[in-house]
Structure 1
Amino acid sequence: MKDVGRTKLCLGLQIEHLTKGIFIHQSAYTEKVLKRFFMDEAHPLSTPMVVRSLDVNKDPFRPQEKDEEILGSEVLYLSEIGALMYLANTTRPDITFAVNLLARYSSAPTRRHLNGIKHILRYLKGTTDIGLFYAVNCSPNLVGYADAG
């Protein structure tokens, strides 16, 4: 074995060692995803999802309607969902709800659902530097929780 110093990159996670803790992000992967789906020049947004309506008929994430066209196999909907799920499960919990909501329609996506994916990608364009920060724990005690049920 050889000590090569602190880890900076592991399984696509970029790791920055700071004085107050460790910052883990995926800026490079996010940029790669944006380029892959041709959203690298898109206008950035500040929210991961459009506002949903309480009226089911006006909700942009409602299931397919009778006259609505299902997107063909040429659309990379499943690839986009997969890339976004990887980000959501590793360093971007802020997009988890929106990605899981759109993943429900993977078998029959419509133009509205594809627009939801594009909205998330535009949000990622404006927030590529967001990640997880693990602060240095000053307390020497290890605290654990368990569910007695």
Structure 2
Amino acid sequence: MGFSKSIADPCLYTKGSGKDYKALILFVDDILISCYSDAEVQKVAQQLASKYNLKSLGPVKNYLRVEVKQTEDRSFLLSQKQKIEMLLEQCEMQDCKPVKSPIELNIQSTLQSECFSNPDLYRSVVRMLLYLVNWSRPDLSASVAILSKFVAKPTIPAWNALKRVLRYLKGTLEHGLSLSAEPDEDLLCYVDSD
């Protein structure tokens, strides 16, 4: 079919450029087909079906536990509301009060203290947060990076800071990563430097 395996990701196969660009994303027995038009998606699907036993599930709604919503402008919103709700339940924080930021300022200096009594829970929550960061919640990157430093020996203040991240997630369940269909030439940055 003429697809080339990506050097950056062994699960990605691409072909063409511009409006002729096509991508296949493979993971075990799941395949995502991305093309400029729905007609091209159908054409690639038919080519694959002629060689392999396939079942089309239609437009993607969920992929590897990531919820995918396509907007009217053909952009995609990747979110993980169910995963976050499951994490909040695991930590018995489903009824917690949301906060507006995931971590407090100057938090690193206050994290050294006595050890947290359940290091396995701490590590499990950090692991889940890393999964969220990689797939749909890059807004948590800095907070999770700071709190990841304590996985070997979690402290009580580090656990409390981790619970704050969970409270932030409670208030931002609908947030996710937006992938635009159109290239944006302007880079927009926000900085809060004191």
TM bucket, shorter chain: 0.7 to 0.9
Structure with max Cα Rg: 2
Q: Per the alignment, do residues 80 and 49 of structure 1 end up closer, same or farther by CA in structure 2, a change over 3 Å counting? A: same
Mapped contact 2:78–2:135 kept (Cα < 8 A):
no
Q: Any conservation in 1 of the 2:130–2:144 contact (CA below 8 Å)?
A: yes
Per-residue deviation, residues 55-99 of structure 1 (Å, max 9, x unmatched): x8xx223xx3xxx42123466111111111111111001111111
For residues 3 and 101 of structure 1, do their structure 2 counterparts lie closer, same or farther at Cα, with a shift above 3 Å needed?
A: same
Q: Which amino acid aligns with 1:103?
A: S
Could you say which residue in structure 2 is the equivalent of 1:14?
67
Give the AA of the match of 1:24. Answer: L
Aligned to 2:56, what secondary structure does the other structure show? coil
Deviations along 1:97-136, one digit per CA (max 9) or x if unpaired, are: 1111011011111111001100000000000110011122
The aligned residue for residue 46 of structure 2 is: none
Determine helix, strand or coil for the equivalent of 2:110: coil
Q: 2:143 aligns with which of 68, 74, 98?
A: 98
**Structure 2 partner of 1:28:** 82
Residue 134 (1) aligns with residue 179 (2) = yes
Point out where structure 2 has 5 or more consecutive residues left out of the alignment.
Answer: 1-53, 185-194
User: Equivalent residues in 2 for 1:34-73 (5 A)?
Assistant: 34-52=88-106, 59-61=109-111, 64=112, 68-73=113-118
2: distance between equivalents of 1:36 and 1:78? 13
CA distance in 2, matches of 1:138, 1:124: 29
TM-score by length of 2: 0.62
Structure 1 residue runs without a partner (length 5+): 140-149
- The TM-score, its normalising length taken from structure 1, stands at 0.80
Whole-angstrom distance in 2 between the partners of 1:40 and 1:11? 23
**Higher share in strand:** 2
Q: 157, 163, 169: which one pairs with 1:124?
A: 169
Distance 1:73 1:35, change over 3 A: closer
Mark the CA change 1:91 to 1:113 in structure 2 (over 3 Å): closer, same or farther: same
- Contact 2:103–2:165 (Cα < 8 Å) also in 1: yes
SS of 1:119's partner is: helix
Distance 1:93 1:74, change over 3 A: closer
Count of residues paired in the alignment: 130
CA-atom RMSD, angstroms?
Answer: 1.9
Which runs of 4 or more aligned residues in structure 1 lie more than 6 Å from their structure 2 counterparts after TM superposition? none
Supply the distance in 2 between the matched residues of 1:135 and 1:89 (Cα, whole angstroms).
18
The one-letter amino acid of 2:97's match is H
